[in-house]
Amino acid sequence: MNKRIPEDLIERAYQGKSTKEDGLLLLEVHLFELFRFADELRSLTAGDTVTYVVNRNINFTSRCVGTCGFCAFRTNNGRVLSIEEIMEKVREAEVAKATEVCIQGGLLPDVGMDFYQGIVEAIKAEFPEMHIHAFSPMEVYHASRISGIKVNEALSRLKRSGLDTMPGTAAEILSDRVRKIICPSKLRTAEWIEVVTQAHAAGIPTNATMMYGHVETPEERIKHILTIREIQKETGGITEFVPLPFMPYNNTIGEKMIREGRYSTPGLEDLKIYAISRILLHEYVDNIQASWIKLGKKLSQFALHCGANDLGGTLMEESISRLAGASNGESISVEELEWMIYGAGRIPKERTTLYRGAHKLASRNPGRITGCGASE
């Protein structure tokens, strides 16, 4: 674990030409050398600004026909929010000066595209400026099959209805070996790639996620990150990469791990994933997002020195991670997010979903930070 980073690997990383072998070698180098190099690439790409978005999560149902072994959110008989109930949550987000609503839900057995289009159209009719970040690749794939149409037609309909961007969730690990174990009824790797690339072709950007720390190998993690890089090379439609540590509680995959004496990933392993993601994705994906709800607030601050340059959103209502054992809260204020960023020695900046500048109220500035996170 005391290996230095070879000069030829450093040169390939600067050029955006890192290989799978480079990624595996990075797992073995001295941790603080790894973090230093990732931080250097972060500085080159994003400077000292750390971004966040004011948003709200809306999960419209926990009912789901899926069989994912990692899910603590799914129920067999959860209720489905009505359009009006969804709109009430959007109105609350508007009052809180959110610029984005993130909408996802379980896979309903008999609900097709009309349902999803109806949600988007209702929001845009009342709040045309609200950014709608909604519906995972799995939801789109499932709804297209229910409606008997191709995925590209489903995406075109959503775009016409007003969908702005999609979350790149349902990726888990892009390995069919892993997917057969943890989510056997979910779309396969090639199908996930197809939905995402067709979304980009339809003018719908996405982010990209990786849920790690369960049954995958280190090589499968590296291959996942490089798959995201290949998609970005082809389409340019990925806004950020979001590594998500697996939450092992209240789900069957996690229960098996705990019986074997394995729990969630150690913090240093999480930080290595952020650093390696920055290095492998350099020159292609500019933004690496640290999930404060998964990592916790203090480890998220440290991640800002390991390649991350974004802290995601305020969320306002986050239940999926909480049900799987995350204990870092369901929302965070702008003031606390900015305090975290200043405390990490960085400069906070509110952004839109597409990483453009957002209006920042003067009252949101917590003042100059001195020392390690102390305000005055």
Name, in order, each residue with C-beta under 8 angstroms of 139's C-beta and a sequence gap of 6 or more: 104, 105, 107, 116, 170
What pLDDT is attached to residue 77? 78
Q: Give the lowest-confidence range in 205-209, 262-266, 341-345.
A: 262-266
Give the residue with greater pLDDT, 161 vs 359: 161
Asked if residue 71 is part of any domain, the answer here is yes
SS (H, E, C) the chain: CCECCCHHHHHHHHCCCCCHHHHHHHCCECHHHHHHHHHHHHHHHHCCEEEEECEEEEECECECCCCCCCCCCCECCCCECCHHHHHHHHHHHHHCCCCEEEEECCCCCCCCHHHHHHHHHHHHHHCCCCEEEECCHHHHHHHHHHHCCCHHHHHHHHHHHCCCEECCCCCCCCCHHHHHHHCCCCCCHHHHHHHHHHHHHCCCCEEEEEEECCCCCHHHHHHHHHHHHHHHHHHCCEEEEEEEECCCCCCHHHHHHHHCCCCCCCHHHHHHHHHHHHHHHCCCCCCEECCHHHHCHHHHHHHCCCCCCEEEECCCCCCHHHHCCCCCCCCCCHHHHHHHHHHCCCEEEEECCCCCECCCCHHHCCCCEECCCEEC
Looking at this protein, which amino acid is placed at residue 214?
Answer: H
Q: Provide the residue count of the chain.
A: 376
CATH number of the domain at 181, please: 3.20.20.70
Asked if residue 1 is part of any domain, the answer here is no
Asked if residue 375 is part of any domain, the answer here is no
Instruction: Report the candidate in 256, 249, 334, 255 with the shortest Cα–Cα distance to residue 294.
Output: 249
Give the C-alpha distances (Å, rounded to integers) separating 286 from 41, 46, 207, 242.
10, 7, 11, 12
Contact 247, 321 (CB under 8 A): yes
Asked if residue 373 is part of any domain, the answer here is no
Looking at this protein, which amino acid is placed at residue 139?
Answer: E
What pLDDT is attached to residue 1? 52
What pLDDT is attached to residue 141? 97
- pLDDT tens digits along 308-359: 999 999 988 644 444 444 444 568 999 999 999 999 999 999 999 999 987 5
What's the gap between Cα 62 and its chain centre?
19
Mean pLDDT, range 366-370, rounded to an integer: 31
How buried is 11 (Cβ within 10 angstroms: 0-12 exposed, 13-18 middle, 19+ buried)? exposed
Per residue in 214-236, is it b (16+ CB within 10 Å) or e — as a string? bbbebebbbbbbbbbbebbeebe
Give the C-alpha distances (Å, rounded to integers) separating 285 from 66, 117, 203.
30, 30, 18
Q: 374-375 and 131-134: which strand pairing?
A: unpaired
- Unique residue bearing structure tokens 């149409």: 149
- pLDDT tens digits along 113-142: 999 999 999 999 999 999 999 999 999 999
pTM for the full predicted model: 0.90
Asked if residue 270 is part of any domain, the answer here is yes
For residue 31, report the phi and psi dihedrals to the nearest 5 degrees: -55, -45
How many separate domains does the chain show?
Answer: 1
Instruction: Report the candidate in 149, 58, 73, 145 with the shortest Cα–Cα distance to residue 106.
Output: 73
What pLDDT is attached to residue 73? 67
Asked if residue 211 is part of any domain, the answer here is yes
Mean pLDDT, range 164-192, rounded to an integer: 96
Instruction: Report the candidate in 284, 282, 301, 280 with the shortest Cα–Cα distance to residue 292.
Output: 301
Q: Give the lowest-confidence range in 232-236, 260-264, 281-285, 333-337.
A: 260-264
Q: Is the pLDDT of residue 190 over 70?
A: yes
What pLDDT is attached to residue 317? 63
Mean pLDDT, range 13-20, rounded to an integer: 98
Dihedral of alpha carbons 174, 179, 182, 185, sign: positive
Asked if residue 70 is part of any domain, the answer here is yes
What's the gap between Cα 328 and its chain centre?
16
Asked if residue 64 is part of any domain, the answer here is yes
What pLDDT is attached to residue 359? 57
C-beta neighbour count of 266 within 10 angstroms: 11
> Please, what is the average pLDDT of the chain?
90
Contact 345, 39 (CB under 8 A): no
Range of the domain at 201: 7-365
